[in-house]
Structures are given as C-alpha cells and as structure tokens.
Amino acid sequence: MDVEYLHHGVPLADYQLTKADRRRQDEAAQVHEWVQRQLAKAPPWSEERWERMRQLLGPPVPPWELQRWQLRLYCGHVVEATRSRERPRPDGGVCDEERCPECGMDPAVIVAFEPPANNHSPKSSRFARRPPSDRRSKAELVAENNALRAELKSLRGQA
C-alpha cells in the first residue's frame, strides 16, 4: 500500500488560527463537556466489564504500523503524535484532537500538521514488503546461494 502523507498549515510555528478552527475548538469543547457529564452519571465498571472491553479492542497496534506526525494544536503548541500508517493525514476520523502535554488543554483540536522529515513512508520502512519488481525468483536465489557457497569453498581452500 502506498500512502502519500499530506501536510497542512506548514510551517507549523507560523500558522494563524481561522474562524473554522475556532468553531471546531468550540464544538470539541462542548462535546467533551457533555461526555464528561454523562460519564459522571454512569455507574462504575466492574473488572469483568473492563476485561471484556480489552478483549473487544484487541492487542495494541504494533509500532511499525504507526506514523509519527508533528501537530500544531489550537492552543499554539507543536507536539508529536502517532497515527496509523494507512491514513494520509492525522486529523481524520475520531483523532482530530489531542490533550496538549504542555499546557493541558483538553481537547485541543489539530489545526495544522506535517509528517516529520525523518519519517519514512511505509514503502521504505524496513518492515514493508518489497515491490514485486525487486523480488527474485526462488531459482535465482538458489543459484546465487550455490555460487556464494562455491566461492566460499574455494576461498577456504586457498587459505
């Protein structure tokens, strides 16, 4: 899978908030407050219920399936976060906000983002599969292996 990672609002340090950013932040804060009120009313979960939830969610995502991003949050801080490598941008779906580790703003919507320069796309990752054009047949690999073994044997004979 080839993913072209996108960017928005670069350079992050110079990004200026828009009316849409302010509206999204206000909406996120309202939703967050509503959820907090609902959670306060809810009865506590038993350990069995928590265990069932862990089973439903499954194991954590392995690190090689994650992409690091530089995020500019509504509060103005630039932070690093990880998201699935399969998505071209970090602010889609349910992950369009973060808790700011610097000032504690929660939620702080993502207003600008970029993948760090030292990140590699999945196709260049050491965990990614090689493209079909780079693959060699089994016969080619066996022939190369035999040639290397013969070379090694002749070198040992010379010593």
**34: part of which helix (H) or strand (E)?**
helix 19-41
pLDDT of residue 110: 95
In a 3-state reduction of DSSP, which class is residue 24?
helix
pLDDT of residue 129: 44
Alpha carbons 3 and 141: distance in angstroms, whole number = 30
pLDDT of residue 4: 87
Count of H helices and E strands in the chain? 3, 4
Q: Is the pLDDT of residue 150 over 90?
A: no
Question: What backbone torsions phi and psi does residue 83 show, to the nearest 5 degrees?
Answer: -145, 170
More confident site: 138 or 27: 27
Structure tokens at 67: 């992409």
pLDDT digits (tens, 9 = 90+) for 65-80: 999 999 999 999 999 9
pLDDT digits (tens, 9 = 90+) for 67-118: 999 999 999 999 999 998 888 999 876 678 999 999 999 999 999 999 977 6
Alpha carbons 54 and 142: distance in angstroms, whole number = 46
The answer to which of 4-13, 73-82, 111-120, 127-136 has the lowest mean pLDDT is 127-136
pLDDT of residue 114: 94
Alpha-carbon distance values, 14 to 37, 76, 91, 107 (Å)? 36, 10, 19, 21
pLDDT digits (tens, 9 = 90+) for 32-59: 999 999 999 999 999 999 999 999 999 9
